[in-house]
Amino acid sequence: MGVPAEVHRIALLIKSMRVRGAGRIARTAAYAMKVAAQKYSGNDLNEFKSYMRGVAQLLGSTRPTAVSLHNALRYVLNRVERAQSIEEAVVAAVSAADSFIEASLNAVGVISEIGSKLIEDGDTVLTHCNSSAALAVLKAAHSSGKRIRVYATETRPKFQGLLSYRELAENGIPVTLIPDSAVRFVMREVDKVVVGADTVTANGAVINKVGTSLIALAAHEARVRFYVATETYKFSPATVLGELVTIEERGPEEVVPLDLLTSHPNLKVRNPAFDVTPPDYIDAIITERGVIPPKAAAVILLEDYGATLAEELATITIDIED
Amino acid sequence: MLEVLEKILENVGRFKIYSSTDVAFAVADAVVKCFGDAEDLSEAARSVLALVEGLANTRPTSVISFNVAKRLVEKAEALMKAGEPKERVAEALAAEAAALKRELESSIAVAAALGARRVRDGSTVMTCSYSKSVKALFSRLKSEGKRVQAIVTESRPGGEGIAMAQELSDLGFETELIVDSAVRFFMKDVDAVVVGAEAIAANGAVINKVGTSLIALAAHEARVRTFVIATTHKFSTETVFGELVRLPVVEGTALLPGLERVKGVSAKCPLFDVTPPRYIDAIVTERGVVAPEAALLLVREVYGWPTAPDAVSCARRLVEVAERGRSS
């Protein structure tokens, strides 16, 4: 059977960036897997498995580089693959999706509690883009009675910083919006930087909204501590096997009106969505399993995916010349 | 009279005039106009003082404008002391302003020619904001037949990098426009950073559009050279005496295209930042390519030692001279 219209609709929401943020994308994808399982009208285990693989492929193609999305799909799919009967498989898909969503939401709560301890009374904190984990840390610090001030970067081209601004302001946290170019200008006033992550690689590098690495560099220069708040399902198992993370480049229309480019043939817009912050500039990664140094990312990955990675490693064959 | 001044100052404060050299041109025209429109020398002198004071409030960083104003004020003072009538002073100032503009243009052209020598054929150059001097350098590269790729940041607040990118692409250079955040992402593709300057302090620190120091920092990290192209008119003599350069900050979202109409947001837009000399490989002037730390030597050479008082003091003295001339 084909992919249900409802799932197509959700896929479009992710693709068009109406659903943003790695955590939200992952939960939405898990939810779409659940919807797909519930809408399945057939009665054949193998057909169901290949149907779910098709759904996962469609959802995965919306944001090919979003690790959280692929880990969510993998989480549900792994449990479907293990099922012995069609009934069991459908139940497994639904409950896996539910438990993924629940764990994801709980993770943010745990991260906020752990992370808030790293924030001190009177701190000025800078954040970039719109990360639910990073904002949860700031909100938890605020509600525990610590007086904090926040600088939120506007985050061109899509102004996600405005969403962060509003969320913090609604929670009564004093916040000031700044252009992305002003990061070094304000860094002297900043005590800590807290950002989210899109992907964490095996060597502890963090892929996040473009500009993050520039902020980390400016923080490093000013000896300002730089924290990444992120759920462990954003850690990329593929990078353990040497896979490079592809940085998505988005369309020019996000930056300038397209007619500007048609009237200037030598002019192009380059619009990378993410950049890579090296582990050297990161003081710690705050996860739901604790605060870890960035270079310990591999430990988490081996804990979570050790078995699968070993299987995949075993399939790599090497020709040895005589 | 003051309306005209206010208009100029508003344009300057709102980044409607992009390049600091163009700001200086506007100031030169305004000084000439002060003498053309005034009833007498005393009124003219007071208008000039209002202009210089207004400039000190809206764009205190624009050293080139103050230096231009100072030159014209000193000229006016000399003529007034010699007992010249208002019409003669106005005429002479118009001629002096025209000469100054030619001097600035030719200085920029010389600096551009020197700077172009530091840019190799086939290289990629990153720049930001809108700079007449950087544009002159690219024009020079074009005339030398060097093919260079340009990467230009949007340069918010204001976003005048978009205009810069258009103009470089119209000169025939393959130009890539990027958001300010993407500077570090692209730095590994860059061979040299070339930026203009709003002002240069005595220690060689460069005051330029906000974001410049971030670019220089990212370049330094990637071992990419950073060149600043600036004529000696932009060297600040006041900083030699410990004066700090006040950096204007605009509150609100008025200078953030796309967010101008967003209500109730507390925003802070610094217009300039300071790039420390250690991130700058060289400052390219019309008198040669120098290390930033050698800025002081050039200041002495160009402006003499000790240097003349600041533009506001000069304008105040002009008012005194005019008042005295009237009473005698």
Which chain B residues are Cβ-neighbours of A155 within 8 angstroms? 181
Tell whether pTM > 0.80.
yes
Taking residues A280-288, report their average pLDDT: 97
Residue B1, pLDDT score:
47
Residue B2, pLDDT score:
58
Please give the domain boundaries of chain B with CATH numbers for all domains. 2-108+308-327 (1.20.120.420), 120-303 (3.40.50.10470)
Instruction: Name the active-site residue from A123, A198, A275, A283.
Output: A198
- Checking if the pLDDT of A231 tops 50, the result is yes
Asked if B279 contacts B226 with a C-beta cutoff of 8 angstroms, the reply is: yes
Q: Report the SS3 class of residue A126.
A: strand
Determine whether the interchain pair A184/B214 forms a contact, defined as Cβ–Cβ distance below 8 Å.
Answer: yes
Q: Report the SS3 class of residue A6.
A: helix
Q: Report the SS3 class of residue A44.
A: coil
A198 part of the active site? yes
C-alpha separations of A75 from A26, A30, A104, A167, B325 in Å:
10, 9, 12, 30, 89
Which chain A residues are Cβ-neighbours of B265 within 8 angstroms? 162, 165, 177
Please give the domain boundaries of chain A with CATH numbers for all domains. 5-107 (1.20.120.420), 117-308 (3.40.50.10470)
Residue A23, pLDDT score:
85
Task: Tell me the two tokens of residue B112.
Answer: 């551009």
- B263: amino acid identity, one letter: K
Rg (CA), chain A: 21
Task: Tell me the two tokens of residue B326.
Answer: 């009237």
Taking 70 as the pLDDT cut, the residues of chain B under it are: 1-5, 13-15, 240-243, 305-306, 328
Residue B328, pLDDT score:
61
Strand order in the sheet with B225-229: A267-269, B175-178, B149-153, B124-127, B192-195, B225-229, B282-285, B288-290
Best of B156, B181, B209 to substitute, by most chain A Cβ atoms within 10 angstroms, is: B181
For A172-210, how does the pLDDT look when each residue is reduced to its tens digit (9 = 90+)? 999 999 999 999 999 999 999 999 999 999 999 999 999
Q: Which helix (H) or strand (E) holds A47?
A: helix A45-62
A319 part of the active site? no
Task: Tell me the two tokens of residue B175.
Answer: 């130009």
Determine whether the interchain pair B156/A156 forms a contact, defined as Cβ–Cβ distance below 8 Å.
Answer: yes
Taking residues A68-78, report their average pLDDT: 92
Sign of the four-CA dihedral B271, A158, A112, A169? positive
Closest CA to A137 of A26, A22, A278, A287: A287
Taking each helix axis from N to C end, the angle separating A212-221 and B212-221, rounded to the nearest 10 degrees, works out to: 80
- Checking if the pLDDT of A237 tops 60, the result is yes
Residue A139, pLDDT score:
98
- Checking if the pLDDT of A76 tops 50, the result is yes
Any B CB within 8 A of A149 CB: no
- Smallest Cβ–Cβ distance between A266 and the set B157, B173, B181 belongs to B173
- Checking if the pLDDT of A36 tops 80, the result is yes
Taking residues A214-218, report their average pLDDT: 98
